[in-house]
Amino acid sequence: MSMSPASVQAQYERAAGDPLRVLIVGAGIAGIAAAQLLRRAGWHPVLIERGRNERPPGYMLALMPMVDRLIEDLGVRDRYVDESVEMGRYAFRSHTGRALRTDSMAGILDRFGDYRGISRARLLGTLSADECDVAFETTVTALDEHDESVTVTVSTQGVNRTCDFDLVIVADGIRSATRELISGSGPIDVVDTDWAGWVVWTDADADTDLGEEIWGAGFFLGTYPVKGEIGVFLGGPADDLVSGPRAFSDRVRARLTTVAPRVDRALRAVAAEPDPYYWPLNDGRAARWTTARTVLLGDAAAGFLPTAGIGAGMAMESAWVLARMLQHAPAVGLAEILGRYEAAQRPRVEAAQGNSRQLARYMFHRSRMLAVIRETAMRMLSVEVVLKPIRRLLQSPPDPDRIAAGEQMGARQPSIP
């Protein structure tokens, strides 16, 4: 990974001659993507991160083709392909573990671009491949927006510094603290499924292109290939998880009449992991994305449930659109660019987020009867049908230059049939 510690002061001094002095809060997927795209354009945004300079493995991601243009513009296509695996097939098992169907992803997404599995750690390393300066252990403690600038106070290990920026990009996650400092940011619409789960890792098998899920009665088990291993997510009602991963894994195993080899290894991995990554299954939707000099990006604007596997992809698309549009700001005006960005991109993101919310209603149930009914439907409905709303988004990609010129409107929100 190519993240390099760099103080706020050092980064700020380099930004002095930029068309806009930009602060990016949060060195996650969206924040790094936006920073690196602006740096490729010759700008010097200041990037800060509240965490330390360390990256735990985190979780696995399936990235759809809306990320491809960002990957190309960053010049990291070869590294992206090397650090990920092709997701070519998707399989469903019944709530008892019996194989129901396996669908090919070829023909569904291929004409739009790549569909690849990657760990979050490897993705961050790919996005920051060209050296990425970050001020670690740094947070925003005050934000005061004026007509001509935003006065921001940042704290690095208890030492405060106040700087003026032209724009603040808030990308510090679904529970963003910086978002709360923006005047008039509005309420956050939250969907809490009351489910959660653990992420662990197990060895790769021969099916390196196969993602597989069990939509159980009172549990969910997903296995997703990334480079060299398989990411495992085992979840259920949060109240049922208090007994711990080993006990819950044993309970799930007892409910299965068919335990395939990958399922067996996944359950063993959950039971054996002493400190698995815990993932609460809730999301968030900000009522407003922009002011005249601030913009929410990624999970700070719309944090996704992982049910459709599209949240990271939409965050990356948004970072790409925003970074490209900002290059028009000196000519068009910053407030106008931000307004056009929100008007065009927010409907796309909320459409995808809405699909994730709808899938959660189908996936997270305790009832065996509902599980049987759902499986009857799944025998007739291929993954192509489920992905139809996402295909609509891929068929009408955003054009940042046209959006900046006021020529492209936002996408109408599709829904799952």
pTM higher than the cut 0.75: yes
Judge if 141 and 160 occupy the same domain: yes
Judge if 139 and 275 occupy the same domain: no
Judge if 295 and 347 occupy the same domain: yes
Judge if 106 and 137 occupy the same domain: no
Judge if 16 and 36 occupy the same domain: yes
Predicted local confidence at residue 410, as pLDDT: 58
Judge if 83 and 178 occupy the same domain: no
Give pLDDT tens digits for 253-272: 999 999 999 999 999 999 99
Distant-in-sequence, close-in-space partners of 292: CB < 8 Å, separation ≥ 6: 145, 147, 334, 335, 338
Predicted local confidence at residue 412, as pLDDT: 45
Q: Does 413 reside within a domain?
A: no
Predicted local confidence at residue 415, as pLDDT: 40
Q: Does 399 reside within a domain?
A: no
Domain total in the chain: 2
Q: Is the pLDDT of residue 1 over 50?
A: no
Q: The domain spanning residue 228 has which CATH number?
A: 3.30.9.30
Q: Does 406 reside within a domain?
A: no
Average pLDDT, the chain: 93
Judge if 220 and 343 occupy the same domain: no
Predicted local confidence at residue 195, as pLDDT: 98
Residue 28 phi/psi, 5-degree rounding, is: -95, -160
Do residues 314 and 304 make contact, with C-beta atoms less than 8 angstroms apart? yes
Predicted local confidence at residue 382, as pLDDT: 73
Residue 72: pLDDT band by 50, 70, 90 thresholds? very high
Judge if 20 and 40 occupy the same domain: yes
The last residue of one of the domains, among 282, 302, 328, is 282
Residue 329: pLDDT band by 50, 70, 90 thresholds? very high
Q: Does 203 reside within a domain?
A: yes
Tell me what percent of the residues of the chain surpass a pLDDT of 70.
Answer: 97
Give pLDDT tens digits for 11-30: 999 999 999 999 999 999 99
Residue 145: pLDDT band by 50, 70, 90 thresholds? very high
Q: Is the pLDDT of residue 334 over 70?
A: yes
Judge if 10 and 91 occupy the same domain: no
Predicted local confidence at residue 379, as pLDDT: 83
Predicted local confidence at residue 56, as pLDDT: 64
CA atoms within a 13 Å half-sphere pointing along the CA-CB vector of 18: 25
Tokens for 244? 């711990």
Of residues 108, 33, 66, 70, the one with CA closest to residue 396 = 66
Residue 358: pLDDT band by 50, 70, 90 thresholds? very high
Predicted local confidence at residue 387, as pLDDT: 77
Judge if 289 and 278 occupy the same domain: no
Predicted local confidence at residue 411, as pLDDT: 47
| Across 32-59, average pLDDT | 92
Q: Is the pLDDT of residue 106 over 80?
A: no
Q: Is the pLDDT of residue 139 over 60?
A: yes
Q: Is the pLDDT of residue 55 over 90?
A: no
Of residues 384, 371, 85, 112, the one with CA closest to residue 224 = 85
Predicted local confidence at residue 284, as pLDDT: 97
Judge if 138 and 277 occupy the same domain: no
Predicted local confidence at residue 298, as pLDDT: 98
Predicted local confidence at residue 384, as pLDDT: 73
Predicted local confidence at residue 124, as pLDDT: 95
Predicted local confidence at residue 31, as pLDDT: 98
Judge if 180 and 302 occupy the same domain: yes
Q: Does 401 reside within a domain?
A: no
The last residue of one of the domains, among 362, 380, 412, is 362
Give pLDDT tens digits for 234-256: 999 999 999 999 999 999 999 99
Q: Does 407 reside within a domain?
A: no
Predicted local confidence at residue 111, as pLDDT: 83
3 vs 222, residue with greater confidence: 222
Q: The domain spanning residue 43 has which CATH number?
A: 3.50.50.60
- Domain encompassing residue 111: 60-120+192-282
